[in-house]
Amino acid sequence: MQDTIPHLMASPRSAKNPWLGKRVVDESMVWTRKVAYIDLTQGTIIAKPIPKDLRRLYLGGRGIDMYLLYNHLEARINPLSPQNILLIGVGMLCGIPALGSGRCDIAAKSPLTGAVGDSNIGGFFAPELRLAGFDHLVITGKAEKPSYLWVNDGQIEIRDATHLWEKDTFETQDIIRDDAEDDEVKSLVIGIAGEKQVRFANIRTGMKNAAGRTGMGCIMGAKNLKAIAARGTLDIEFAHPDELIEYSLEMNDKILNTRWAKAQSRWGTLIIYSNTNTTGLIRTRNFQRNRLENGEDLEPESMDRYTIGMSGCYGCSVHCRHRYVLKEGPYAPIFGEGPEYTSLGAFGTMVDCKKMDTILVANHLVNKYGLDTLETGGLIAWAMELYEKGIINKQDTAGLELTWGNEDALFKLIKQIAHREGFGSTLADGFKPAITAIGKDSASYAIQIKGMSNLHSDERPTPSLALNIATSTRGADHLRSRPAIDLYGLPEELLEEIYGVPVSADYTSYEGKAHMVAWQERLYAVTDSIGICKFQTVFCSVNAPKWDEFSKLIYLTTDLQLSEDQLMQVGERIYTIERLFNLREGFSRKDDWLPDRYFDEATPIGLPIAKGKKINRERFKKMLDEYYLLHGWDENGVPKKETLEKLNLDQEPSHQV
Amino acid sequence: MQKILFIDPEKCSGCRNCEIVCSLHHEKVCNPNRARIHTVKWETSGLYVPMVCQQCETPLCEVVCPMHALKRDDKTGAVLVDYDLCVGCRLCVVFCPLGGINVDTESSKVLKCDLCDGNPLCVKFCEPQALRYLDATAVNLKKRRAAAEKLSDLMKRMVQV
């Protein structure tokens, strides 16, 4: 069933669309929410129901986004062309009062890496989109002029955004709210970086939430799409509402009883620094040191100078973000949210800046322009090392003195990247084009995988974390499979209980770690598909909810019964379809590899266990073989025929929707 | 002793769990538009204020209701809507000084906090304790202590000078 009405669709409460809006007897809302296909070139909008079978196989959010991406995207297109597809997906559990259930998944072919582009974003947009009647948007083509999408109670309009162009990410959201005369409008927006098609531009919502890493904001810019605004009043129906209230309360207690949630409630992810900067698991000066000397001001306690309170995403009881006010300095006054550990690394340890003020200003700038914090900091730190080594000089940087800790140059370069000005234009396309442009041996200093910068963590002492970044479908990305609990020195009995196989308790070991990574991949794929926060599953704490809890929550919200094994298989399916996508785009085993420095340079300082460590090439190769084997992929990382059959992937692309 | 749904906006983290659970409990759906509590936000300056009926001593809603559909519940002290009498004229919405009464997007009738019959769920779901259900005297005690703390800070500073 489908209806095609340019710019407008019938109200969901009309008799024509009985599957949407009003309560459907014995059905939960997941079955009533639709996928809308929006062609910005033609101005057409088509809505379709999402088949139940597809829900069972891919759940929602990232899972269905990955299915749609593999099915609808033509192979090897230019990611900046109108053929690229921008996907917006709501997680399956969206709307429950627990576990940060407001996660939204955004996908496309990445303009940064050419691989899977996929970002998971918190905040308040996903629930508003679901309240407005849609779980998925498939956006193709390119609008003739700056436009934005207006989604409201089953209707979608393409609206003029000329007045929003060149506005920053905060102003844009305010203007859309003012235009609609409604404070409750939630928007996904891009800033100047997205407009200028910086290849690692973010999509932003609220003060802090950012769909980062893979350049989804760049895709919006390439489509002339400034924003997607949603406002909805349609009920989100759950299969067993009373039991859901009780179980949600139980889930909130469960997560808040973990030590990590308690620390995050107070300090946010900045608390990680207190650990990594004393153990040697952090990168400073790009890749030169693994401790920031005299870096006391970056300890989370410093945030007390600026914090007016904490802030949480939709349905989250942890609230890990600071609401901060910076009252002094040339950029003041600033009100912002965050900063994350990621920003502390990007604009602190990586570039050798040692003041919290610097982090707060830089964090504000990237948020305002809509730039990825990690990629921006990673590129600038690389440029600083090149400057130090004399590979680039003051002429190349158009007068910027890229010396370590030069805060002024840092701020200027952030602005230049966002606006594609000066030396910033060299960095604005990401590592691969910048390496080509700069030449010489600049490549050997770049800490990147598949064209994406790595977090400021040092994985040389930790083979599990190294495998995590080498194999991620997104590039050098920790969030696809980080087995962070490997760092806790947990007893082997407990590790075996979680992972189901023997795993070494020593984080410098290679034993069982491939299994650990594959297990986390499945868990996070499901987490991103049911749309809850990764911090509220087995990321930071072994006691956080996982398969059993997910299974029960899926049942209470949708009535779907999926066992632990079935959910693991869903995770495996999602990860494998991402692998198929990357293989189709020309990626192969050689791309699942670390920068040479991981194998050749030993960590200079750190705890005795972490000091003097580098990754062993041969053992890493063996671990990669083991990892492929665990997935049912051949030695080149290509899924075997029987694996595809087992995962119902042998018929893909199946075009079910 | 009478209990009060006490709001402390400084502690609110803006997660909207109160709205979600309110609509889930009363309407059996998640729909913040149909909740009896609402967090008003000034996003770009980071201010969040939960707004909910305060069960006033002299409830204007009760005074203006032409159908006498609003009455206080002796057990909980909540002013309740009798839906058999309510005709949906929304005078109570107009006169409530706090915006504490909402219009249901489904039935067009009015919605207001009933304190969940003495066990408010929003309080249970408010981790930062921006919402608390306290004895009337405790409210004053806590406010007084908070004010005194500010004064004592000031005094400490004066002593230091």
pLDDT score for A15 = 36
Instruction: Encode pLDDT of B34-63 as tens digits.
Output: 999 999 999 988 999 999 999 999 999 999
Among A170, A309, A317, the residue with its CB nearest the CB of B127 is A317
How near does any CA of chain A get to the CA of B116, in Å? 13
**Which of chain A's residues have a Cβ under 8 Å away from the Cβ of B43?**
173, 206-207
Distant-in-sequence contacts of B35-38, Cβ < 8 A, 24+ apart: B35/B102, B35/B111, B36/B102, B36/B111, B36/B112, B36/B113, B36/B114, B37/B113, B37/B122, B37/B131, B38/B102
Q: Is A315 on the interface with B (CB under 8 A)?
A: yes
Among A95, A170, A337, the residue with its CB nearest the CB of B30 is A95
Q: Give the side-chain half-sphere CA count within 13 A for B49.
A: 8
Quickly list H helices, A23-124. 52-58, 61-72
Asked if B31 and A238 come within 8 Å (Cβ–Cβ), the reply is: no
Can you give the residue ranges of every domain in chain A? 3-231, 263-453, 463-646
Instruction: Encode pLDDT of A126-169 as tens digits.
Output: 999 999 999 999 999 999 999 999 999 999 999 999 999 999 99
For B10, phi and psi rounded to 5 degrees?
-60, -25
Q: Is A207 on the interface with B (CB under 8 A)?
A: yes
CA gap A323, A321 in Å, rounded:
6
Q: Which residue has the tokens 């083509």?
A: A141
pLDDT score for A29 = 56
Q: In the predicted model, what is the mean pLDDT of residues A402-407?
A: 98
Parallel/antiparallel/unpaired status of strands A186-189 and A225-231: antiparallel
pLDDT score for A93 = 97
CA gap B81, B61 in Å, rounded:
10
For A143, phi and psi rounded to 5 degrees?
-70, 150
Q: Which fold has domain A463-646?
A: 1.10.599
Report the amino acid identity of residue B144.
Answer: R
Parallel/antiparallel/unpaired status of strands A225-231 and A209-211: unpaired
What's the token pair of residue A220?
A: 């919006």
Which domains does chain B carry? 1-52+113-161 (3.30.70.20), 55-111 (3.30.70.20)
Closest CA to B89 of B115, B61, B50, B114: B61
Q: Confidence band (pLDDT; 50, 70, 90) for B150?
A: confident
Does residue A307 surpass a pLDDT of 50? yes
Instruction: Encode pLDDT of A50-103 as tens digits.
Output: 999 999 999 999 999 999 999 999 999 999 999 999 999 999 999 999 999 999
Summary mean pLDDT of chain A: 94
Closest CA to A282 of A563, A7, A604, A537: A604
Instruction: Encode pLDDT of B88-107 as tens digits.
Output: 899 999 999 999 999 988 88
CA gap A206, A125 in Å, rounded:
9
DSSP chain B: --EEEEE-GGG-----HHHHHHHHHHHSEE-GGG-S-EEEEEGGGTEEEEE-----SS-HHHHH-TT--EEE-TTT--EEE-TTT-----HHHHH-TT---EE-TTT--EE---GGGG--HHHHT-TT-SEEEEEHHHHHHHHHHHHHHHHHHHHHHHHH-
What's the token pair of residue B12?
A: 């609110």
Of A146-150, A247-251, A534-538, B143-147, the least confident: B143-147
Asked if A313 and B29 come within 8 Å (Cβ–Cβ), the reply is: no
What's the CATH architecture for A263-453?
Orthogonal Bundle (1.10)
Q: Which residue has the tokens 């308790």?
A: A505
Q: Which residue has the tokens 């779980």?
A: A135
Residue of chain B with shortest Cα separation from A132: B31
Q: Which fold has domain A3-231?
A: Aldehyde Ferredoxin Oxidoreductase;  A, domain 1 (3.60.9)
Q: Is A241 on the interface with B (CB under 8 A)?
A: yes
Q: In the predicted model, what is the mean pLDDT of residues A16-21?
A: 34
Longest CA span, chain B: 66
CB-CB contact of A482 with A471 (8 Å)? no
* Mutation site, A131, A189, A236, A556, interface B, largest B CB count within 10 A: A236
pLDDT above 70: percentage of residues in chain A: 95
Does residue A8 surpass a pLDDT of 50? no
Does residue A222 surpass a pLDDT of 90? yes
Instruction: Encode pLDDT of A254-299 as tens digits.
Output: 999 999 999 999 999 999 999 999 999 999 999 999 999 999 999 9
Alpha carbon distances (Å) from A541 to A371, A484, A537: 30, 9, 7
Report the amino acid identity of residue A332.
Answer: A
pLDDT score for A3 = 39
Q: In the predicted model, what is the mean pLDDT of residues A540-549?
A: 94
CA gap A594, A600 in Å, rounded:
11
pLDDT score for B118 = 95
